[in-house]
Structure formats: C-alpha cells, structure tokens
Amino acid sequence: MRFLAPFLIATALWAAPPAITELQPRGTQKGRPFQLTVVGQNLGEGATIVSSLPATFTPLGSSKPGMESRYATFLVEPTADWPVGVYPLRVKATNGFSNLLLFNVGSFPELTEEESRPGASAHQNDSIEKAQSLPSTPLTLNGTLQGPERDLYRLQIKAGERRVFEVDARRAGSAVDPVIRIYDASGKQIARSEDDPMLRLDARLDMTFSKEGFYYVEIHDARFSAQAQNYYRFKTGAYAYAADIFPLGGRRGQAVEVSIANAKVKADLTKIDGPQTFVNLADSPSLPLPFAVGEFPEIFEPVAAALQLPVTINARLAKPAEVDKYTLDVKAGEEFLFELQARELGTSKLTGLLTIYDETGKKLVSAGDGPLPVDVGAVQASSRTLGDPFLQFKVPEGVKRITLAVEDLALRGGQHYAYRLHASRSGSDFQAQISTPFVNIPAGGTALVAVNIGRRGYTGPLRVEPIQLPAGITMAGGDVPHEIPDPNNRANSRRAIITLTAAADAKFSSGEFGFRVISTDPQTPKIERVATGLAYAIGVNGASTQGVVDRQRPLTGTWLGYQLPAALTDPTPANLTLVLESSTKKDAGYEYLFRWRWTTRERGQTLPDSVTVDLPNFIDFRAIEMAVDPKDKTTGTFLVTSTRNTLPALYNIGVMGRLMAGGQAQEIYSPLLPLTVAALDPEEKTAQ
C-alpha cells in the first residue's frame, strides 16, 4: 500500500475543466453595473468571464467561504452601450473553458419572483389567492418554474390602458416552453398566448383593458416539465415591438433596409461573418429578431422576367392559398439548386412546398410534401420535425423553360409567411456544422470533436481538414465514406469525428479552431465548405433522440460564426491508444481485431473492463468479444465485423474509456485510426 500516497497527490493535482449551471441574475437593465454570480463546478480561483457583453468583469471573490469551486462572483461594469439582447457567457478557469449560458439585457427595471430568491419557500404564488403583487410601472421580472407549477402575479390596471405581456424563455436560453394566461378579478380567463408567430415558442399578448381593476397574469410551462434551465423573464408595459419583419435577410457586405412593424431600420451586414445577425426597433425592450445573411444578389417580388442566377428572392405569401411562381430558361442536362429559407429562420410560419413544372404544366419534381427519409445507415431515424425544403434539379431532355412554384403546405398565408428563395447553378452540395460547442484538450492527451454534414445531392467521400491549427496540436480522423445515392433526392445527415491531440509541451493556451469539409471524389468537381460553429447546446428534458418535435429539441445557437473555442487543460490521469492488430476475411465480410491500451501516470489507477467504440457511418456495425487481457489489465481487445451491406470505404474508429480521478468521472479518448474496408471480390458481388 506504499504507492497510494503519490497516487493521491497526483489525482489531487488533476482538475476537471469548469462547468456552469446557473447565472445569478439571468439578466439586467441595460447600462447599469451589477453583481454577477456564476454557479457551477471546478471554477476555482482565477476564473475569468468570456463574453460578448461590452463590460469589465472584476472578480469579487466567493461570497461562500470554502465553496470557491462552486461559486464565482464578479462586478460587471459597462464599457459601451448595451443593446437589448441575449449575450453568450462562459468561464475560463485555469483548466480550460466551461460550457456557455446566455445572459439577457433589457430596458426596464428588474424584479425577482419572491419564491425564486435563495432560501425562499416554494409555492408562494401558485394561485390567484397567493399571487405576487407587481407595480404598475414597466418592469422585467425574473422567475423560475419548478416543474408542474404555475406562477401568478397581480397588477392594477386602469380603464383604457394598453399593456403588453411578454415572456422570454427559449429565446433567452431557457428550456421552459412558456404559456401566458390573463384573468380578470373574478378569476375568468380573458386571454391566452403560447407560441407567438415572431417569438418561436415564447409568448406575447397585447391588450387594451376596458375596465379598471386588478388583473392576474399566470405563467407556466406548456408541458409542466421539470427543466435544469427553468428560468423566464416576464416583461410588461406599453411598448412597441417587432410584430412582423420583411425581408427576412440580406446580402453580406451591404446595408439593408428592413421593415419592422411599419418602421424602417437599417441592418448593417458589412462586418458580419456568420450566417445571421439580429435587428430590432429602436429603443424596443423586446428581444431583437434573427436576420439571415446571404451571399447572392437579392431581388424582391414581384418578379415578372425569367430569373438570372445566382439570386435570392425576398417574397411573402400574402393571402391564404397563394402560390408564387418564377420562370427560368434552361437547357437539358443543366443542374440547379433551389433552397427555401423561412420556418427555420424563426421569423416565418411558412411550411414551404417547392414544385417545378415544365412548359406544359407537367409536374417534374417537388420538395416539402414527400415522406421524411429513414436513414438506414444511421442508428436512429430522422426527426419528424419539418424543416425548410430544397430541390436539386437536373433538366431532362426536351425541357427549355421551367416554372418554380412556392406555396405553403397547409395553404396558409398572411404577414407572417415571408420567405427567402435561393436559386443557383449547382449539381450537388453539402453543408457542415461543428456540432461540438467547445473543446478542452488535455496536455499530452486527446479530445473528440464532431462535425455534422448535411448532404445535398453529393454522395461521394468527404474529408474534414483543419484551418491553421496551432503548433503542438495534431488532428486525426475526419473521413466520411461515399454512399448509395437516394433516388428521391433527399438530404442525409452524416457525422464526421476528429480527434485533437496536444503534445505534452504544447505552448497553445486557448483560442479558436476552424475546419473545412472537402469533397474527395475525383469524378466530380471539388466542393469545399467551411463548417459553421455551434455557439451553445442547452438540453430540454422530455426530448427524445427519435421523432423530436420543435418544443422538445435542444436549444442551439450558431451566431458565433465559424470557430470552435478551444483550450489546453491539465494532463489526464491516463492516456488511451488503439491499434489494429489483424484483419481476416470471412464468408459474410471482414473481421478486424483491435487492441486498446492504457498508459497511466501513477500506479494504482483503477481501469475499466471495457471501452466504448465509435465508428460512424459504418453500416451493420458491431463491436464484439470485448475482453481485458488476463495477464495485463492495462490492455484488451475487441472485434469489429463488416457485412455484405457495408460499403467498401475509408472509415475512422476510436475508443473512449471512463476513469475516476479526483472523485470525478473523466472521459479519455484515443486518437482516431483509419479503417479501410476492402471491396468484395467480383464473384462475391455477383452472389450478393
């Protein structure tokens, strides 16, 4: 037992990266200094704030002695104007980056729900009889919902007074799906809002009251679900807000005039790097609206002449059952891409349907009205949630002019049915997003990053490459195999994995990494796309991995542009490697024998009996016969088998093991290995 002392010292020195679970408060009135407390784990001394909020963050020390790793408090002071909006915030500690939470800036004085204060009793305002009284002046109230509860507030309102009631939740980084109900003094419901057309899943009511008296505002979650991020911000007052917007976006590098609620505002897109920005009415306390940023020349309806490509058309289905039609002169064999932006932008209710007709009115192809794809190459089926449709179209023989029709699948229309239609010459394409929000790379160790690739016609192999990795950081993996073309021309999503390994003496401290995805099929023109970054991913309880609907999808944000925040952290207690020892051809395919091996820094480290194998896009994937070497507990083997359904291609394989260190579970990754599956012999293909 003499080895335990150095082992305990070593694990005590190792520290997990920081994680934050709560911000106190979740928002503030713009321009006012305030005290911010970050709640989480592994914060430690020397934690700093990383945020786009223009402010200084001065550490004040922990207000809870002995809890420095759980709480960090800062004095926040403005350094420039604070526009109303939502700002990302994370912690950088001595051992890496934390996850990101959202902080809100409003216009009105801030209040806090009584039962949400630290140490307060629960269920203080769950009925009309116990409703918390609020002043009649404009305000923003910060509250929380503890699962199946209702929060009620009492307001005195004058006869003829106009009041806006608005709840920020999903747009503000909360998992709550809010509902607002208004009751009169007798307890009769007189108004209700759940999903406002311009607020995604958030709620808003605009009312004028005929009688003076007390009125009650009830706020609850639509599903009465228990959420980790369970806060909301309730605003009330008489104010202007963006009830509609047109256009929904503009061209990068330009200043665009935008109509918001009958007012004209300017959207400056000259310095925007990401796929969207935000616009708002001047001095409105309501959160700004997302505004798409495109690359093509932009035009507005009505469009009478044949389209000149590439182009983005800004239009609106102003009436129910309206169909917008656009013509294009074409030649046989030409290939085009038509893409609709509407519903997924969050500022349109349009469930789009695209249809192409020839000169005689014959329907050639459509998108948005077919069955959703079931991806046999993925572990789970695609979501039942509808997105915006796109069409990849190759002109058949004998067709010289086509008509492209845009309509709503449910034949709806009105001011909230605007869209952006992108049209370009393109035979096949794909999109890429870094689906890992941030990464902490252990010194001398390895971290895993995932990139999601949405195929749009291109079915060949793909390769993820880094953009200017710093010295001391190496990348492995990033290969996506080709696949069988979908006869229905539908999108398929594929996951590429890469590992980033830091040298033990790497000088890199923190920064941002970028990645590009490149087509590698020598028979098709080269396609290259830079992967967009994922700013944050906030879980929503009750969501499922299959058949997820809008209100249960995790909250994600992409406005940080095209980078992956990265930091160097402490060495892990052990490293993990993987090697391919042999491959054997069997009757049904191939059998690959892999060996994993642990390298520990101290004796006495408890090691797991198995590892988790990751081998994406591999049809009929099985990892079997996993066993630890009976003579050497630091190593073990498993088999991976292919079948006749497995496409011959280059894949990436890696393993992950979980260790306990310093009382916390730690995930350790091996660098990825290439795995080439050979093609079957011609006789076997014929037999198959």
Q: How do beta strands 536-538 and 555-557 pair?
A: antiparallel
**pLDDT given at position 385:** 45
- Rounded CA-CA distance 31/107 in Å is 9
Give the number of other Cβ atoms within 10 Å of residue 167's Cβ: 28
Burial class for 520, CB neighbours closer than 10 Å (0-12, 13-18, 19+): middle
Q: Quick one: which of 503, 450, 511 has its CA closest to 478?
A: 450
Distance of CA 472 to the CA centre of its chain: 29
- Which domains does the chain show, CATH number per domain? 13-106 (2.60.40.10), 110-237 (2.60.120.380), 245-294 (no CATH), 298-427 (2.60.120.380), 432-569 (2.60.40), 574-684 (2.60.40.10)
The H-or-E segment that residue 684 falls in is helix 682-687
Q: Per the structure block, which two tokens stand in for 286?
A: 């309501």
**pLDDT given at position 545:** 43
Could you list the mean pLDDT of each consecutive 10-residue stretch along the chain, which spans 688 residues? 36 71 95 94 88 94 72 94 94 91 96 90 92 97 93 97 96 94 96 90 96 97 91 96 95 95 92 88 93 95 94 97 97 94 92 96 89 38 58 94 96 96 89 92 96 90 94 96 69 88 92 94 90 83 54 66 87 94 91 96 86 94 94 95 92 94 84 93 48
Q: How do beta strands 390-394 and 536-538 pair?
A: unpaired
**pLDDT given at position 519:** 95
**pLDDT given at position 187:** 95
**pLDDT given at position 686:** 40
Q: What sign has the CA pseudo-torsion 630, 631, 635, 636?
A: negative
Cis peptide before 25 (omega within 30 of 0): yes
- Given the structure tokens 């002695």, which residue do they identify? 65
- Given the structure tokens 């009688």, which residue do they identify? 211
**pLDDT given at position 561:** 67
- Rounded CA-CA distance 452/382 in Å is 14
One-character DSSP codes across 546-585: SS--GGGSPEEE-TT-S-EEEEEEPPPSEEEEEEEEEEEE
Cis peptide before 648 (omega within 30 of 0): no
Alpha helices in 390-436 (DSSP H): none
Residue 309 near residue 329 (C-beta atoms within 8 A): no
One-character DSSP codes across 496-556: EEEEEEE-TT----EEEEEEEEEE--TTS---EEEPBP--EEE--TT--SSS--GGGSPEE
- Rounded CA-CA distance 277/558 in Å is 10
- Rounded CA-CA distance 520/517 in Å is 10
Residue 617 near residue 584 (C-beta atoms within 8 A): no
Q: Quick one: which of 195, 187, 191, 184 has its CA closest to 222?
A: 195
- Given the structure tokens 């990754």, which residue do they identify? 669
HSE-CB for 330 with a 13 A CA cutoff: 28
- Rounded CA-CA distance 219/234 in Å is 9
